[in-house]
Structures are given as structure tokens and as C-alpha cells.
Structure 1
């Protein structure tokens, strides 16, 4: 499915609805559920993450965890925790291990959204949901889901 948004507000709204769909359609499995965000710098990944977190019921301000790399939020859903990772600054998969990623991904009660997921693709489970974002201009974004 492909969607075009005309503003950051629309991108957040699409992500909010997507989060609600994920919650309604997914059953807790044997491992964490992973949403991989892909796109160039400025494509709207953090904006999407903000809307997604709101759709999960997160009320805290959502900022890109670029400098801390991972943020954890408790969520009032069948999943217990939402992790927001930003792998932009990671230089290697070994660095991902220092984040406790293996443990995060092993817990089926975790919902994990990863910006720049392609940097740690080999570390991720085979079954993930990928969302690709691209900027057409300053305000317009293309969002594709698989």
C-alpha cells in the first residue's frame, strides 16, 4: 500500500492509524514485533514515529533518539513496552549489541520501531514490517507499507 501525505500533520495521522491497525491485527508472537522505518535523511521517519507512538497511547513527547539511540515507553496495550530506536549513528552491528537489542527483540511483549533499520538488518528477525518513506518536496511524503 502506498500513501502520499501533504504535511507533517498528515504523516503523523497516517502513522497513528497504522499503529491502531497494528494493535488490532497482530497477536503477540514468540518475539518482539518490529517495524522498520527506511528512508533518506529528512524523509519523515521521526515524524512517522511520533504519530505511531501516539497511536499506541504514548503521551510523552517523542523525539528522535539519535543521541541516546533507544527510548523505552510503557504502553497501555497487549504489548507492554514500545521501543523507539534510531540507528543513524551506529557504525556496526556490534554497537547494536551494546544497546541490549538482542534482549529487546527476544521479548514478545515489546513493540519495536527502528529508524535507519537497514543499518542493523542482519540483526533483525526475518519477519518484520517495513515502512519506506521518501520526500517529494519540503512537505509531501510518500509512504509505502509491506
Structure 2
């Protein structure tokens, strides 16, 4: 397990560190509403070459991100509004997991049992308005 305390000003540096050390391209983000899950994912998408296209997919459940050359970068899921695991299956979740792409998931606890075995779990805790503590645990 890795623990990191960071401020908003260090976000780009922290996102690169997490990506560089990730044991999987499937990242699960845990934390209360407003803890910075989407903000961290936006920084990661920028770090990976996706520009500033990242935004929360709360209402659409999933966003697709492309690299500047049009190649697939990955998918960003927000399961907050999911009513059942069946809804995730109806999205074709398994097909997304089988692609060679980055997968960023907010509120993965809503689909426990459907998650692949090789995830990186990132828990975010609010320390103060600009400081966060994250704990990173690889399941592989």
C-alpha cells in the first residue's frame, strides 16, 4: 500500500506518479462526494495525452477519451447513479474491461463483484479544502 498526501498544486505531479507506478490500467476511485475523484482523473487524462477533455460522466455513466491523434485513451465511468449491477452489465461493462485502454471508475463499490481482479484501488480522503490523502492498493 502506498500513501500520498498532496495539494491541488501538486495534482499533475501526483497523477503522473500514480500512472507510472500503476500495476494495471484499471483504476478504481473511492472517496466521498467532493473528495476530488474527478479532478484527479482529469489530471491523469491530461498526463496521458488526452488534453482537457475529461469531465464527470455522472449522467451518461461513461465517457470515452481519445488521444490527440484519435486513438483510444480510455473510459471514465461514474457509477454513482446506478440502481443495480445489471445496469452496468447492460452497458457492456465486460467489453470495456477487455480492451487495452485505461479504465477510470468512480463509485466502483456500486459494482462490487463485477470488477476485474487486477484493479488499482485509489482511496481519497479530504484533509482540508486543498489537501488530500490517497491510499493506493493494487489487487493483483
TM norm structure 2: 0.85
User: 1:87-126 maps to which residues of 2 (within 5 A)?
Assistant: 87-107=79-99, 109-126=100-117
Deviation at 1:61, TM superposition (A): 2.4
Query: What is the aligned partner in structure 1 of residue 135 from structure 2?
Result: 144
Deviation at 1:10, TM superposition (A): 1.9
Kindly indicate whether the alpha-carbon contact (under 8 Å) linking 2:12 and 2:47 is maintained by their aligned counterparts in 1.
Answer: no
**In the alignment, does 2:21 pair up with 1:18?**
no
Moved more, 13-22 or 59-68: 13-22
| Superposed structure 1 runs of 4+ greater than 4 Å apart | none
2:42 to 50, 54, 73: 50
Deviation at 1:136, TM superposition (A): 1.3
Question: Aligned partners of 2:91 and 2:73: how far apart in 1?
Answer: 16
Deviation at 1:133, TM superposition (A): 0.4
TM norm structure 1: 0.82
Deviation at 1:6, TM superposition (A): 2.2
Question: Aligned partners of 1:81 and 1:100: how far apart in 2?
Answer: 18
Higher strand content, 1 or 2: 2
Gap runs ≥5 in structure 2: none
Q: CA RMSD in A?
A: 2.1
How many correspondences in the alignment?
Answer: 135
Question: Aligned partners of 1:16 and 1:66: how far apart in 2?
Answer: 24
Higher helix content, 1 or 2: 1
